[in-house]
Chain A
Amino acid sequence: MKHILLCDDDVTILRAVEIKLTRAGYRVTCCGDGQAAYDSIQRELPDMIISDCQMPRLGGLELVRKLRSEEATCLVPFLMLTGKGFELPLEDLRRDYAVLDVMAKPFSPREILHIVETTLTASVT
């Protein structure tokens, strides 16, 4: 069972995506901020990370920067969620941190599931 780490300070969103992915057969670990996510990744490396951008303690950008600087986590697929509209430079994120995509809120859990399935299927093949 593929393991996905989900990180958002908004519990409502966290729960909605968790339900969607769990129902699709993925194992999901939920974290409320970037630091908790980072600690969890140190304990167990997930197959994919989905993280919000603005979070207390450690934001999504700092998290991906930190993960990409470490050998063990530099290749884990990373999907960024954001409530901001135009402030995030997607191209830079793709180029510098290999971020799969930046999904602006309000997003569709269905769409997230689709990206997860596509990414994880591709990584298997």
Chain B
Amino acid sequence: MTLLRQLTLGFFLLAIGVTCGTGWLALRAAEQHGAVTFAAIVAGITLGAATWQMFVVERDRREHLAARRFLEHLLRYGEPGCGAAVSLDTLPAITAGSVWEEPLKKTFDYFSSFQDRRLMLENARAAADIRLQRLTSQVEWMESVLSNLGDPVLAVNAYDEIILANRDAESLLRLRPMVTDKRRLPPIVGCERLTNMIHEVRRRTSATLRHEELELEDATGHKRWYRASAGKLPLANDVSQDSGAVLVLRDITTQRSMQKQHAEFVSSASHEMKAPLAGIKAYVELLADGDAADEAEREEFLGVINGQADRLQRLIDNLLNIARIEAGVVKVSKQSRSINEILVEAAQVAQPAAEAKHITLVSDLSPLYLGALVDRDMLLQAAINLLSNAVKYTPDGGRVTLRSRLADQELLIEVEDTGVGLSEEDCRLIFEKFYRVDKDKNMAAGTGLGLALAKHIAEDVHGGKLTVRSKLGVGSTFSISIPHVARTN
């Protein structure tokens, strides 16, 4: 029982007591003084006053209870997830003009605004959660892109602290243990040129890139070439402020090696072209200066000029053929052909040169029909190149054998000579473009492209193989193997 109820009950009992006491005193006075009617009226008034007092106390009690229920309801309403709706409709239960009316209305307004604010905050929190989730996935996506980029990427802020470094950058620039320490840039990168690049772009007033090529040691300790691009980091709308820089390194080792190979190829090609050109120029000048002693010498000079022009022509033809095959623009026309027929034709082409050196050219061709899907002109060219080389590097009176045979599912074309032979290193390098064996250079004119072309024809065009077996001073055997096609008719 609450204190208020105890007080109300006490007051009520006291009022009854006072009323009864007053009535008893009034009755005693009436007996003594004969005023019965007066005593009855006083007793009635006292009873009425006591009843009114009871009514007032009861009303206050009910309002108090209603207010308490309302407040309890509001408190429940204020709890998250309660879901109960409270409105001012519940207030009419409280008598208008009651002392409770104003505080309850104010409390209700406060709870309403609190509820609105809470809803707003909840909505804001949900939106923030979504944004955070989106940003997190964007960051994860960016990190994934950066790590799988294959190029080292590094970013620093205006205080030279590394704010971003992908896996490749960490590995190449040995950053891993240091990034977390927020170490300054120079001791981390350890490469003055990269540090200078970053500092230089940070000082720039416009967001332009700076590129440099430099050699760095990779994680495995191998030196590799990188193209470094550094750019100022954009900051809002003001690029003139120093807000850091980003550095991207691209591995260009292969590219540089290809450029070097290309430069070497051009150098070799021009070197090979200059030799016959030098001959032509020199002999033309001798003729012009009247240095030929007689008509025979004049003829000799003209012959040299003609020979050198032919050499230049062969070189250019071979270069073009190789370039066409390498670029894949050569028109290959493969048909099922008899290999022996092509080899007989090649032998006929090589015969005059062999005869001039008293070399016996033997054709040891298979009696079987050896069919293959080949480009006739190209295979003929490859066979002529092999035969012509064999004749060139076989001393006078030697022997060159042209052979064809079937081995497993392959056709073998072999050119064997009793020539000067090749060392192991020469065997390895002989198919390289412009490679010529130094000691044998003077035996014959050559472009250093014949075998490279034959290898292209055998391997790239026909899917076969061109190999060499050789012994110094004994001779060499060049073999072309190509897939066999059985005769269908």
Contact = CB atoms under 8 A, between A and B. Distances in A.
A110 B275 contact: no
Contact of B270 (A57, A85, A107): A85
A25 interface: no
B260 interface: no
Given A10-B275, A84-B267, A106-B277, A16 B442 contact: no
Give the dominant DSSP class at A's interface. Answer: loop
Given A83-B274, A109-B286, A13 B267 contact: no
Interface in B430-447: 438-439, 441-442
B282 interface: yes
Nearest to B437: A56
Interface string B270-289: 11001101111111011001
B438 A56 contact: yes
B116 interface: no
Contacts of B275: 10, 13, 83, 105
A12 interface: yes
Contacts of B439: 56-57
Given A12-B304, A84-B267, A85-B270, A108 B281 contact: yes
A23 interface: yes
Contacts of B291: 19-20, 23
B479 interface: no
Interface string B339-351: 0000000000000
Contacts of B267: 84-85, 87
A99 interface: no
A117 B442 CA distance: 30
A11 B307 CA distance: 13
Contacts of A10: 275, 278-279
Q: How large is the interface on B (under 10, 10 to 19, 20 to 34, 35 or more residues)?
A: 20 to 34
B278 A105 contact: yes
Interface size range on A against B: 20 to 34
B308 interface: yes
A105 B277 contact: yes
A122 B439 CA distance: 37
Contact of B279 (A13, A84, A87): A13
Contacts of B271: 54, 83-85
Contacts of B307: 12
B308 A12 contact: yes
Nearest to B440: A56
A107 B307 CA distance: 18
Contacts of A49: none
A19 B286 contact: yes
Interface in A1-53: 9-13, 15-17, 19-20, 23, 32
B160 to A, nearest CB: 42
A105 to B, nearest CB: 4
B364 to A, nearest CB: 34
Contacts of B279: 10, 12-13, 16, 106
A93 to B, nearest CB: 18
A83 B275 CA distance: 7
A54 B438 CA distance: 10
Contacts of A9: 441-442
Contacts of B270: 85
Interface in B93-117: none
A16 B441 contact: no
A81 B422 CA distance: 29
A109 B308 contact: no
B442 A110 contact: no
Most chain A beta-carbon contacts within 10 A, residue among B267, B271, B282, B308: B282
Contact of B285 (A12, A105, A109): A109
A104 B291 CA distance: 22
A35 B204 CA distance: 60
Contact of B280 (A11, A17, A55, A106): A106
A91 to B, nearest CB: 20
A20 to B, nearest CB: 6
Interface string A96-119: 000000001111111000000000
B112 to A, nearest CB: 89
Given A13-B278, A83-B271, A108 B441 contact: no
Report the 3 A-B pairs with minimum CB-CB distance, sorted nearest first.
A56-B438, A16-B282, A106-B278
Given A13-B275, A20-B282, A110-B289, 5 more contacts: A12-B283, A16-B283, A83-B271, A84-B267, A106-B280
Interface of A: 9-13, 15-17, 19-20, 23, 32, 54-57, 83-85, 87, 104-110
6 contacts: A12-B308, A13-B275, A57-B439, A104-B274, A105-B277, A107-B281
Interface of B: 267, 270-271, 274-275, 277-283, 285-286, 289, 291, 304, 307-308, 438-439, 441-442
